[in-house]
Amino acid sequence: MYHVVHGDVYDMVKAREATPPKLDTELRRGALVLAVLSQLRTAQYGYSLRQALARQGMPIEEGTLYPLLRRLEDQGLLASEWRIEDGPPRRYYKLNAAGTRALADLTANWRALVSTLNGLLD
């Protein structure tokens, strides 16, 4: 049901659509690091990681994933190695000790944030 004092339903719909489309992308971007780290408790290569994330409702583009993996490795959170198994060489990534600690810390921070946001949104 719509109640419009000044304007019409079209103006209300148009105002709702005026939300910048990049807001969803920005919200997801922060969650991607946690999502990726959560899947690297066991070694995976890029494509298998993309599939695992997509199966669980978190699709990620190659152009986003591979730079993120390199950045996380540069930050000292991942170890990587090249492997040749039934196909072309693949670079496998896995959490190292610092990455495991970061995952635990980020998970605790995420859960606290979700709790706070749930309280704010209710």
Domain boundaries, the chain: 32-121
pTM: 0.79
Place of tokens 């997801």: 28
pLDDT tens for 39-79 read 999 999 999 999 999 999 999 999 999 999 999 999 999 99
Structurally, at CATH architecture level, domain 32-121 sits in Orthogonal Bundle (1.10)
What whole-number distance in Å separates Cα of residue 57 and Cα of residue 39? Answer: 13
Q: pLDDT at position 16, please? A: 54
